[in-house]
């Protein structure tokens, strides 16, 4: 009997469009002799829209869109009542990025339903999304990272000048100011002085109720994919460079053509250290399945963990699958299959735990 795989994508997130591209690639990689594929589109308003059993290939990610007059709660109820085949083998691939999908919300629902799903669980997903909590945990475990501070909206509203002054005592300009729970493409600004800092914080609070501030560091940013459950393995590091004379931290926020370099040009011992640190970060956040760990490497080969993405972009040209192709020749379809099997293994392990007193 075939396995039913429900690929969930879209969602209430600024990364909605990227999610459609990831889902399209995942769906097209699946073996239809092995899987019954059910795409589930979540609109930008949060309404779940099943597309039914998929027969062919997806030529354009826009084919995965669907409209509905349902409410959010009714659409989820309809999905649970009419789409999930309880007496068959099921798994969910949540190809969701950012808030309302990569942050533990979907994972919590799937845990309650006792349905196996690809990727990280509730805790690691939530912590990986919240940059402040993630960095606080790394600090407890002596994971190297740049100096940072955070601002909560209530204290900021109460006395803005006091908050700004306290941050300036802790950190040296220039800063990068970010919403704590969004991807790096939205709400981020660089600040060299108080005036720019105030404007950056104002904008960041449009997207989240918590803001993180980091000291600028001039470094190359490595991306490493980590895959596994109890014994995770790290890919070779990769990086993006710009078609310009130099590329530093600031340049990643300037429009330009990015060129992937895989593997990144690092001394062997530095590359090994970067990979080891990526696995350490993965384990500390209790990750399983997959994650992409972003790590800064300075000119004098000091390393600093930037962040962990618990459901990174997953198109055919995204770093995660490309890194594994360069590491050991794993194809996109093979990587998807590995992640599915890891999900079933983790689900079985959880189901073997006792839920009552012995």
CA–CA gap between residue 304 and residue 71 (Å, rounded):
44
Residue 201 phi, psi (nearest 5): -65, -40
CA–CA gap between residue 9 and residue 22 (Å, rounded):
8
Beta partners for residue 309, in sequence order: 292
Tell me which DSSP letter residue 252 carries. G
**Which one of the listed residues 13, 15, 125, 239 is annotated catalytic?**
15
Q: Is 292 helix (H, G, I), strand (E, B) or coil?
A: strand
Helix (H) or strand (E) holding 334: helix 332-351
318 assigned to active site? yes
Is 309 marked as a binding-site residue?
Answer: yes
Residue 74 phi, psi (nearest 5): -65, -35
Bond prior to 263 in cis (omega within 30° of 0): yes
29 assigned to active site? no
Structure-token match 């009552």, residue found:
356
CA–CA gap between residue 296 and residue 216 (Å, rounded):
11
- By the 10 Å C-beta count (0-12 exposed, 13-18 middle, 19+ buried), 164 is classed as middle
DSSP codes joined into one string, 87-150: TS-EEEEE---STTTSSSHHHHHHHHHT--BSS--HHHHHHHH-HHHHHHHHHHTT-----EEE
Is 45 marked as a binding-site residue?
Answer: no
Helix (H) or strand (E) holding 7: strand 3-10
**Can you read off the two tokens belonging to residue 35?**
């899987």
Residues 6+ away with beta carbon under 8 Å from 103: 125, 126, 129, 130, 181
**Which one of the listed residues 184, 203, 334, 337 is annotated catalytic?**
184
For β-strands 35-42 and 3-10, DSSP reports them as parallel
184 assigned to active site? yes
**Can you read off the two tokens belonging to residue 235?**
């890919």
Is 307 marked as a binding-site residue?
Answer: yes
* Alpha helix positions (H), the chain: 16-29, 72-82, 105-113, 122-129, 131-140, 153-158, 160-170, 194-204, 268-284, 319-328, 332-351
Please state the residue numbers annotated as binding site for Mg(2+): 294, 307, 309
Could you list the active site residues? 15, 184, 318
């Amino acid at each position: 009997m075939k396995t039913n795989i429900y690929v969930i994508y879209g969602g209430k997130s600024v990364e909605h469009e990227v999610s459609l591209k990831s889902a399209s690639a995942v769906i097209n990689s699946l073996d239809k002799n092995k899987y019954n594929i059910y795409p589930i589109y979540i609109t930008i308003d949060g309404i779940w829209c099943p597309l039914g059993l998929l027969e062919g290939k997806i030529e354009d990610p826009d084919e995965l869109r669907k409209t509905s007059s349902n409410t959010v709660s009714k659409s989820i109820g309809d999905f649970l009542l009419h789409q999930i085949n309880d007496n068959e083998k099921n798994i969910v691939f949540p190809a969701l990025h950012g808030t309302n999908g990569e942050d533990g919300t979907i994972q919590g629902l799937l845990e309650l339903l006792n349905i196996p799903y690809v990727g990280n669980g509730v805790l690691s997903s939530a912590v990986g999304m919240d940059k402040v909590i993630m960095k606080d945990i790394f600090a407890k475990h002596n994971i190297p990272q740049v100096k940072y501070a955070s601002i909560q909206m209530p204290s900021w509203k109460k006395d803005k000048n006091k908050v700004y002054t306290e941050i300036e005592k802790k950190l040296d300009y220039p800063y990068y100011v970010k919403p704590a729970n969004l991807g790096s493409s939205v709400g981020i600004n660089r600040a060299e002085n108080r005036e720019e800092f105030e404007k950056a914080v104002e904008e960041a609070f449009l997207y989240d109720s918590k803001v993180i501030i980091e000291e600028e560091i001039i470094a190359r940013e490595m991306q490493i994919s980590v895959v596994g459950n109890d014994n995770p393995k790290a890919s070779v590091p990769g990086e993006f460079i710009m078609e310009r004379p130099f590329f530093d931290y600031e340049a990643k926020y300037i429009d330009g053509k990015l060129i992937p370099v895989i593997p990144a040009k690092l001394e062997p011992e530095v590359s090994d250290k970067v990979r080891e640190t990526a696995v350490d970060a993965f384990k500390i956040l209790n990750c399983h399945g997959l994650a992409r760990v972003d790590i800064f490497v300075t000119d004098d080969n000091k390393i600093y963990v930037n962040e962990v993405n618990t459901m990174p972009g997953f198109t055919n040209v995204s770093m995660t699958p490309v890194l594994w192709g360069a590491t050991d020749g794993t194809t996109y379809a093979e990587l998807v299959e590995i992640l599915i099997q890891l999900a079933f293994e983790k689900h079985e392990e959880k189901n073997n735990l006792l839920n009552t007193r012995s």
